[in-house]
Amino acid sequence: MPQTLATFKIEDQQWNAFKQATKADNSNASETIKAFIQWYLSGNRLNAEVNVSEIDIDQRIESRLIPLINRIAELEGKLPA
Tens digit of each residue's pLDDT (9 = 90 or more) over 34-62: 999 999 999 888 876 656 566 677 877 88
Check if the beta carbon of residue 49 is closer than 8 Å to that of residue 63: no
Tens digit of each residue's pLDDT (9 = 90 or more) over 60-81: 788 889 989 988 988 988 888 7
Check if the beta carbon of residue 28 is closer than 8 Å to that of residue 19: yes
Global pTM? Answer: 0.57
User: For residue 60, what pLDDT is reported?
Assistant: 76
